[in-house]
């Protein structure tokens, strides 16, 4: 039977400490979020980010743009926020409407305000084995969970399913920097289960329900499920067949309550860290 990795509880502890630190600041940190378009899930995510920020004493500014907004409109908002000293972190919620070039948008955020850690400067720092201004939130949350449960990374074979810029790609570099042996699998990977069966740490970030079945999990593996999918009955579920994998795993994250709360926790921590860098604290 696996030990449950309770992200919800770990995030709460981290955020309690963060809230104590923010309490003593005269000038509070400020997070700006740009949301463009009508994506229902994005609206829910942005609301929960705003709510969490406010609970912690972090100021939040949400800038809403319509589905038919232009590239220029988004870039202008970013220029304004880049030059506004009262704003410490800028997050552009993804996905963006199809007419928008998301890559250019992310590149225009000042790297010191890149609270999502997605700017090529920050990703490049990670790729070079250096410290970025901010680490991408979900990978940072996963590493913190492993640390919290005293799960060693060095020398382990970490297998990641998914190569997105938000999760798989940066996580692969961060685990490599922690001396794991890393394999990244994706939609073109052949013999996926043969590879996952070798994983000491198995991370699924594919967004596909029931992708990771029991027989793909090595005995004693640490299983981290980043997927957020819906079951037929509307309930949330991850990528992993939880009840199939759980008897084999040594540790496993639930969905919900595993990685998700850690992502938002990292975002808050990143806002505070950028505030400290910008204010030379």
Which residues make up the interface to ligand GUN (CB under 6 A)? 91-94, 116, 137, 166, 263
How far is the C-alpha of 235 from the C-alpha of 189, rounded, in Å?
29
Pick between residue 116 and residue 273 the one whose CB is nearest to ligand GUN: 116
Of the listed 49, 77, 113, 140, which one is catalytic? 49
Pick between residue 228 and residue 245 the one whose CB is nearest to ligand GUN: 228
**How far, rounded to the nearest angstrom, does the alpha carbon of residue 168 sit from its chain's CA centroid?**
10
Annotated catalytic, 219? no
Annotated catalytic, 116? yes
In angstroms, what is the minimal distance from the CB of 275 to ligand GUN? 18
In angstroms, what is the minimal distance from the CB of 264 to ligand GUN? 9
Closest residue by Cα to residue 187 from 166, 205, 210: 205
How far is the C-alpha of 115 from the C-alpha of 109, rounded, in Å?
9
Give the chain's length.
281
In angstroms, what is the minimal distance from the CB of 191 to ligand GUN? 29
In angstroms, what is the minimal distance from the CB of 116 to ligand GUN? 5
Of the listed 52, 108, 116, 156, which one is catalytic? 116
Enter the tokens of residue 193: 């289960």
Annotated catalytic, 84? no
Of the listed 52, 77, 93, 241, which one is catalytic? 93
Pick between residue 117 and residue 254 the one whose CB is nearest to ligand GUN: 117
In angstroms, what is the minimal distance from the CB of 193 to ligand GUN? 27
Pick between residue 114 and residue 200 the one whose CB is nearest to ligand GUN: 114
* Nearest residue to the partner ligand GUN, using Cβ: 94
CB atoms within 10 A of CB 129: 9
Pick between residue 92 and residue 237 the one whose CB is nearest to ligand GUN: 92
| Residue positions annotated with a catalytic role | 49, 93, 116
């Amino acid at each position: 039977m696996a030990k449950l990795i309770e992200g919800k509880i770990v995030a709460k502890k981290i955020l309690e400490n963060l809230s104590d630190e923010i309490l003593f600041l005269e000038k509070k940190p400020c997070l700006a979020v740009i949301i463009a378009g009508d994506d229902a899930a994005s609206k829910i995510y942005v609301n929960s980010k705003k709510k969490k920020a406010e609970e912690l004493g972090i100021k939040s500014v949400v800038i809403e743009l319509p589905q038919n907004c232009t590239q220029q409109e988004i870039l202008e908002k970013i220029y304004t926020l880049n030059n506004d000293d009262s704003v410490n972190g800028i997050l552009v919620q993804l996905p963006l409407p199809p007419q928008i070039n998301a890559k250019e948008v992310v590149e225009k955020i000042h790297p010191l305000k890149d609270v999502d850690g997605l700017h090529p400067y920050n990703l490049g720092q990670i790729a070079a084995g250096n410290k970025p201004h901010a680490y991408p939130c979900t990978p940072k949350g996963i590493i913190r969970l492993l640390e919290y449960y005293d799960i060693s990374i060095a020398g382990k074979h970490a297998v990641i399913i998914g190569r997105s810029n938000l999760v798989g790609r940066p996580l692969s570099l961060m685990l490599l920097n922690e001396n794991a042996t890393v394999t990244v699998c994706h939609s073109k990977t052949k013999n996926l289960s043969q590879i996952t069966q070798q994983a000491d740490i198995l991370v699924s970030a594919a967004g596909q329900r029931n992708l990771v079945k029991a027989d793909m999990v090595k005995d004693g593996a640490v299983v981290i499920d980043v997927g957020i999918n819906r079951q037929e009955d509307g309930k949330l579920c991850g990528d992993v067949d939880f009840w199939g994998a759980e008897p084999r795993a040594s540790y496993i994250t639930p969905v919900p309550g595993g990685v998700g709360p850690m992502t938002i926790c990292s975002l808050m921590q990143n806002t505070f860290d950028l505030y400290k860098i910008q204010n030379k604290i």
